Chains A and B, each alone.
Chain A
Amino acid sequence: MTRIGEAGKRGPSVRSDCWIQVELQDSGGLELDLKSKVTIMYGDRIEGLLREGCEVLGLVDAKVSVEDQGALPFTLAARLETAARRAGHTPAADFLLPAGDATTYTSEFGRLRRSRLYLPGNEPKFYVNAGLHGPDGIILDLEDSVAPAEKDAARCLVRNALRAVNFYGAERMVRINQGERGLEDLDWVVPHNLHLVLIPKVESPEEVVAVDRRIAAIKQQHGLETPVYVMPIIESALGAWRAYEIGVASPNVVGLAIGLEDYTADIGAQRTNAGTESFWARAQVLNGARAAGVQPIDTVFSDVTDMDGLRDSVLEAKSLGFVGKGCIHPRQIQVVHEAFAPDPVEIDKACHIVRAFEDAESRGLGVVSLGSKMIDAPVVKRALATVDAALKVGRLEPDWRDGADKPGARRSGLLNEKGGE
Chain B
Amino acid sequence: MTKLVKNAVGRDVPVEINGEAAVPFQGVGKFVPTGRKAAPPIRSCADYPSDGNKIVDSIKQALVNAGLRDGMTISTHHHLRNGDFVANAVFAAAAELGVKGLRWFPSASFPIHEPQIALMEAGVISHIEGSMNGPLGDYCTRGRMKGMAILRSHGGRYQAVQDGEVHIDIAVIAAPTADPFGNATGDRGPTACGLLGFALADSEYADHVIAVTDNLVPFPCIPWQIQGNNVDQVVVMDSIGDASKIVSGTTQITKSPDRLLIAELTARFCDEAGIVQDGFSFQAGAGGTALSFALFLRDMMRERNIKARFVRGGSTQYLVDMLEEGLTDYILDGQTFDLEGVRSMRENPGHQNTSPFTSYNWHGKGNFASMLDAVVLGATEVDLGFNANVVTHSDGRLLHGIGGWMNCLASKCTILPIPSFRDRIPVIVDDVTTLCGPGELIDVIVTERGIAINPQRRDLKEQLRGSSLPIRPLADIKNEVDEICGGAAAKPDLGEKVVAAIKWVDGTVIDCVRQVGQ
Contact = CB atoms under 8 A, between A and B. Distances in A.
Interface of A: 15-16, 37-38, 40-45, 49, 69-73, 100, 128-129, 132-133, 166, 329-331, 394
B235 to A, nearest CB: 40
Interface in B250-292: 257-258, 260-261
B423 A132 contact: no
A69 B423 contact: yes
B485 A40 contact: no
Nearest to A39: B395
Contacts of A331: 257, 260
Given A133-B261, A329-B257, A331-B257, A42 B423 contact: no
Nearest to A134: B261
B258 A129 contact: yes
A420 to B, nearest CB: 16
A276 B260 CA distance: 35
Contacts of B261: 132-133, 330
Interface string B432-443: 000000000000
B468 A394 contact: yes
A329 B261 CA distance: 12
B468 to A, nearest CB: 7
Contact of A40 (B257, B449, B468, B490): B490
A41 B490 contact: yes
Given A38-B423, A42-B485, A71-B424, 10 more contacts: A40-B492, A41-B394, A41-B489, A42-B489, A44-B490, A70-B424, A71-B423, A128-B484, A129-B448, A133-B261
Contacts of A38: 423-425, 489
B interface, by DSSP: helix, strand, loop or mixed?
loop
Nearest to A17: B423
A72 B257 contact: no
B19 interface: no
Nearest to A333: B257
Q: Which of A37, A40, A72, A331 has the most CB of B within 10 A?
A: A40
Interface string B68-95: 0000000000000000000000000000
B425 to A, nearest CB: 6
A42 B260 contact: no
25 contacts: A16-B423, A37-B423, A37-B424, A38-B423, A38-B425, A40-B394, A40-B396, A40-B490, A41-B394, A41-B395, A41-B489, A41-B490, A42-B487, A43-B490, A45-B487, A49-B486, A70-B424, A72-B486, A73-B486, A128-B484, A129-B258, A129-B448, A132-B258, A132-B261, A166-B484
Contacts of B423: 15-16, 37-38, 69-71
A31 B483 CA distance: 28
Contacts of A70: 422-425
Interface of B: 257-258, 260-261, 394-396, 422-426, 448-449, 468, 483-487, 489-492
A105 B396 CA distance: 40
Contacts of B489: 38, 41-42
Nearest to A132: B448
B518 to A, nearest CB: 15
Nearest to A168: B449
A45 B468 contact: no
Given A69-B423, A70-B424, A132-B261, A45 B486 contact: yes
Q: Which of B395, B396, B424, B492 has the most CB of A within 10 A?
A: B424
Contacts of A166: 484
Given A38-B423, A41-B490, A72 B448 contact: no
Contacts of B396: 40
Contacts of A15: 423
Contacts of A42: 424, 485-487, 489-490
Contact of B395 (A16, A40, A329): A40
Contacts, number: 64
A315 to B, nearest CB: 20
A394 B466 CA distance: 14
A70 B394 CA distance: 13
A41 B424 contact: yes
Contacts of B468: 394
Nearest to B429: A41
Contacts of B485: 42, 72
Q: Which of A16, A49, A69, A128 has the most CB of B within 10 A?
A: A128
Nearest to B424: A70
Nearest to B449: A132
A71 B425 CA distance: 10
B269 to A, nearest CB: 16
B419 to A, nearest CB: 9
A79 B54 CA distance: 67
Contacts of B258: 129, 132, 330
Closest 4 interchain pairs by CB? A70-B423, A41-B489, A330-B257, A70-B424
Contacts of A49: 486
Contacts of B484: 72, 128, 166
Nearest to B257: A330
B450 to A, nearest CB: 9
A40 B429 CA distance: 14
Contacts of A41: 394-395, 424-426, 489-490
Contacts of B448: 129, 132
A346 to B, nearest CB: 21
Contacts of A133: 257, 261
Contacts of B487: 42, 45
Q: Which of B395, B449, B490, B492 has the most CB of A within 10 A?
A: B490
B321 to A, nearest CB: 18
Contacts of B424: 16, 37-38, 41-42, 70-72
Nearest to A71: B424
Nearest to A164: B484
Contacts of A43: 490
A133 B265 CA distance: 11
Nearest to B395: A40
Contacts of A44: 490
Nearest to A394: B468
B353 to A, nearest CB: 34
B323 to A, nearest CB: 25
Q: Which of A41, A70, A394 has the most CB of B within 10 A?
A: A41
Contacts of A71: 423-424
A16 B426 CA distance: 13
B224 to A, nearest CB: 44
Contacts of A45: 486-487
A115 to B, nearest CB: 13
B106 to A, nearest CB: 28
A37 B483 CA distance: 19
Contacts of B425: 38, 41, 70
Q: Which of B258, B394, B423, B483 has the most CB of A within 10 A?
A: B423
A132 B260 CA distance: 12
Nearest to B419: A129
Contacts of A394: 468
A129 B265 CA distance: 15
Contacts of A132: 258, 261, 448-449
A42 B484 CA distance: 13
Q: Which of A42, A44, A133 has the most CB of B within 10 A?
A: A42
A197 to B, nearest CB: 25
A100 B483 CA distance: 9
A386 B396 CA distance: 56
A166 to B, nearest CB: 8
